[in-house]
Amino acid sequence: MTGPQRREQLISIGRVLFAEKGFEGTTVEEIAANAEVSKPVIYEHFGGKEGLYAVVVDREIQALLNSITDALSEPDHPRALLERAALALLDYIENSTDGFRILVRDSPPGQSTGSFASLISDVASQVEHILADMFKRQKLDPKMAPLYAQMLVGMVATPGGWWLDSRRIKKEDVAAHVVNLAWNGLSGLESKPSLRLIHPKGR
């Protein structure tokens, strides 16, 4: 195995173990055993378990942010953008289950990135400008857009974790109900919400 190939192998193995056991529950010995290498190989490539974890987390955050950015890349009705963003996050949860489980776990002591709170902030920053534009059009204070962005992303991410474990509801229905609450509020909930305004090219 070449150096780059070995590095990718260790990242893949670490991703699975961190998702299953968390950072604290995963040992360097375990990673080495699964990769059939000695512990010094891991230290050579990443400096230790912390370095490997940081690489795994950074990749997952970037993958999620890219999917959110792609979903919001085309101008559209604000509700359609909200629907696409909700589905993009749920798509990531469905297709990158191990990655999502890593992101929602507590990050190791002393690490400022990789926590669920930092993930919410990173994703919220992608939708902030859309809300700010909408607030301006509706003569609302655009300075409050970051707060609403945090709330909206949290409304998808937290139910998304629940849905990942239960899967009793179709992904599209989860997105529709999240958008129902976010768009209509508790006082105006629809009894049978559905995704209505997604751009044809997106779905």
Q: What's the pTM value of the predicted model, to 2 decimals?
A: 0.80
Give CA–CA dist 109/69, Å, rounded.
30
Q: Name the nearest CA neighbour of 90 among 17, 35, 167, 145.
A: 167
Q: Name the nearest CA neighbour of 23 among 105, 87, 133, 89.
A: 105
The answer to whether the beta carbons of residues 182 and 152 sit under 8 Å apart is yes
Task: Note the pLDDT of residue 28.
Answer: 97
Give CA–CA dist 52/42, Å, rounded.
8
Tens digit of pLDDT at every position of the chain (203 positions):
899 999 999 999 999 999 999 999 999 999 999 999 999 999 999 999 999 999 999 898 888 888 888 888 887 888 888 899 899 989 999 999 999 888 887 656 555 555 667 777 877 887 787 778 778 888 889 889 889 888 888 888 888 888 988 888 999 999 999 999 989 998 999 999 998 866 555 44
Task: Note the pLDDT of residue 75.
Answer: 77
The answer to whether the beta carbons of residues 88 and 146 sit under 8 Å apart is no
DSSP 46-112: HSSHHHHHHHHHHHHHHHHHHHHHHHTSS---HHHHHHHHHHHHHHHHHH-HHHHHHHHSPPPTT--
Task: Note the pLDDT of residue 34.
Answer: 97
Task: Note the pLDDT of residue 203.
Answer: 47
Task: Note the pLDDT of residue 51.
Answer: 95
Q: Name the nearest CA neighbour of 123 among 164, 93, 165, 95.
A: 93
Task: Note the pLDDT of residue 202.
Answer: 47
Domains recognised in the chain with CATH numbers: 57-187 (1.10.357.10)
